Amino acid sequence: MTTEYTGRGDPARSLALLWRTGERASRKGKPDLSVDRIVRAAIEVADTEGLAALSMRKVAERLGVGTMSLYTYVPGKAELIDVMLDTVYGELPLPGGEEAADAAGKPDGGWRARLEAIARDHKALYHRHPWMLQVGSSRPPLGPNVTAVYDHSLRAVDGIGLSDTEMDAVVTLVTGFVNGAVRGAVEAEQVERLTGMTDEQWWWAHAPFLSKVMDPRRYPVAARVGAAAGEAHNAPYNPEHAFEFGLARVLDGVEVFVRSRVGSAPPEGGA
C-alpha cells in the first residue's frame, strides 16, 4: 500500500497554499485554473483511482491542461497532498459554531456524546476518501480546515476538568482509534473487490477444513472463541462490530479518566 506523508513540502509554500495567501491569477491565454480546481481534481483522482495513481500529470489530464501549467499554482505533489487533506477535512460537519455554542463555547450535548459524534463523522469521512488512510500526518497540514476540526474536537472536552495536554491526548486517542478501526474496514472492502469473495463466503469455504485440523485439545481457547466469533459474524472479523465495540470501550476509558480527574462524572448534558 502506497504511503505518502504530509509536511514534506516547503513549509512557507505549503502554508501559503493552505491559507490561499499567495494564489496567482490565471495568465492571459491560459485555461482558467486555480488552486481549488487543481486540488478538487487531485481529490477526484485519489478517490477513483487511489493514492498510488496520483501525480501532477494525472491531475493535468483530468483538467485537460498541460502538466507544467499546474506548477504556476502548486509547487509539487508534496504541497498538493497537504492541501488535499486539509480540503477534505473541510467536509466534516462542525455543528455548534460561534452562533450555536453555549456560554462555555462548546457545542450542545454532553462530552461523551460529542466525542462519539466526532468519531462517527471521522469514520464517514475516511469511507468517502479511503486514500486518507494512506497519508501519514504526524506533521499535519496546518491549514484552516484542519485547525477548525482540531478546535471543534477540543471543545468537546473543554471545561470538564482536564488539563490542556489531557484534552489534546483524549482527542488524539479517539481519532487515532477511528483511523485504525476504519483502516481494517477499508482493507476488508478492498480484499473483497480484489478476490470477488465476501468475508462470509471466505469463512465458509475455510470452515470445513478448519474443523478437521483445529484440535480443541491443542488450541482449546482459540477453537472455542474462534468458533463462537465465526458463528456470530459469519466471518473471522466484523469491521462494524469492531468499531462499535471499540468506540464504546475507548469512551468508557475516557470516562474513568475524567472521573479520576474531577472526583465524579460530569453531568452528561452539561460539561
* Mean pLDDT taken over the chain: 86
The residue-averaged pLDDT of 203-230 equals 80
Residue ranges of alpha helices (H) inside 19-163 are: 35-49, 56-63, 67-70, 77-89, 111-128, 144-155
Integer Cα distance of 224 and 106 in angstroms: 47
- Evaluate if residue 26 carries a pLDDT over 60: no
3-state secondary structure of 94: coil
Quickly state the pLDDT bin for 206 (edges 50, 70, 90): confident
Name the fold adopted by 111-198+235-262.
Tetracycline Repressor; domain 2 (1.10.357)
The residue-averaged pLDDT of 200-228 equals 80
Least confident of 62-71, 131-140, 217-226, 257-266: 257-266
Q: Global pTM?
A: 0.85
The amino acid that residue 147 corresponds to is T
Q: Are 247 and 119 in contact (CB under 8 A)?
A: yes
Residue 5 bridge partners (DSSP) = 136
pLDDT at res. 113: 96
pLDDT tens across 120-154, in order? Answer: 999 999 999 999 999 998 889 999 999 999 999 99
Domain ranges of the chain: 4-89, 111-198+235-262
Integer Cα distance of 95 and 101 in angstroms: 9
The residue-averaged pLDDT of 67-91 equals 95
Superfamily of domain 4-89: Homeodomain-like (1.10.10.60)
Residue with cell 486518507: 132
Q: Are 17 and 70 in contact (CB under 8 A)?
A: no
